Structure formats: structure tokens, C-alpha cells
Amino acid sequence: MNNTKTILTSLVIVIANNIVGHFFAPNGITFTPIVLILISVLIGLLNTELTSIWKSILLAGLIGLHDIGIKLYSGGSHDNEGLGWVHGFLFIGLIPAYGILIGGIFKTKSESILKKIIAIILFPLIIWIHLELFSGLGLGRHYWYNWNG
């Protein structure tokens, strides 16, 4: 598949799951591992036009976008227990997604081994930065709405 189709399809999957999470809670959280695996197959394996580094950046960005959408717009109570469920399903999906990305990176023969190693290290680094910045996003939001009417 070409660059545009895989990126747009991945973006539609992320947005669709966030909409499902908003209207049919907690299904958006439950579908998180499936969404992460689907977008990693699309970006990591089926996209043949991106370099390995851009695959890592794009996949981490889409996963971050999905995580932010789930934390802000998914229904349910936003307390520490709910945040634990969100992070639990996120990590269940991150493990196979990272494996698929690594497979897609090593499938490309035209890049140097240094670029492949940089791409493999870059993905968890971006995910770590995302979780450092946004791990508590949406926490307590449910109670604030109840308090203010």
C-alpha cells in the first residue's frame, strides 16, 4: 500500500475507536490492543514508502493520539483505577505493536543498520516521553463535571 492510504486508514481507525469509546464505553478502552496492532501492521508492514525512522515516529504519534483521545473522550469514571485500565490495555497493545514495527523495520533492505537501530530505539523513547507528559491526562475529570453541575 502507498503512504497516503496507510496513514489515512490508520488515522480513521484511531478516530473511529475514540468515537466508539465516547459513545459505547468502555469498548474504546477494550479495543485498544486491536487498534494498536492494526495501525502497526498498516504503518510498520504495509507501508513501503516511509523510512524506518518515520515509521517509528508516525506509529508512536498515532498511538499517542489514540491514548489522548481515550483519556479525554472515553466514557466512564476517570479515577486512578480507570487510568490503570487504560494503561493496562495500552501496554497489552504496545508489546505486539512494537514487535510488528521491528519486523517491518528489518523487512526493509535498503536502509543502513544504524538507521534501523535508531528507529527501534526512537519508538519506545517517544512513547516514554508521551507517558511522562500525559499519563495523568483526564484524571479527576469526571468528578469536576459532577461538582460543577
Cβ atoms of 14 and 65 within 8 Å: the answer is yes
Q: Residue 82: what pLDDT?
A: 83
Residue 114 CB neighbours (<10 A):
8
Q: Residue 147: what pLDDT?
A: 52
Q: Average pLDDT for residues 19-48, to the nearest whole number? A: 95
Q: Residue 148: what pLDDT?
A: 52
Comparing 64 with 147, the larger pLDDT belongs to: 64
Q: Average pLDDT for residues 38-65, to the nearest whole number? A: 96
Q: Say if residue 144's pLDDT is above 60.
A: no
Comparing 145 with 42, the larger pLDDT belongs to: 42
Residue with cell 459532577: 146
Instruction: Give the span between the Cα atoms of 121 and 107, in whole angstroms.
Output: 17
What does the domain layout of the chain look like in residue ranges? 3-147
Angle at 108 between CA 105 and CA 113, to 5 degrees: 70
Q: Average pLDDT for residues 71-98, to the nearest whole number? A: 88
Cβ atoms of 67 and 97 within 8 Å: the answer is no
Q: In this structure, what are the phi and psi dihedrals at residue 43, rounded to the nearest 5 degrees?
A: -80, -45
Q: Say if residue 52's pLDDT is above 80.
A: yes
Q: Average pLDDT for residues 13-42, to the nearest whole number? A: 95
Contacts of 28 (CB under 8 A, 6+ apart): 17, 18, 19, 20, 21, 22, 70, 74
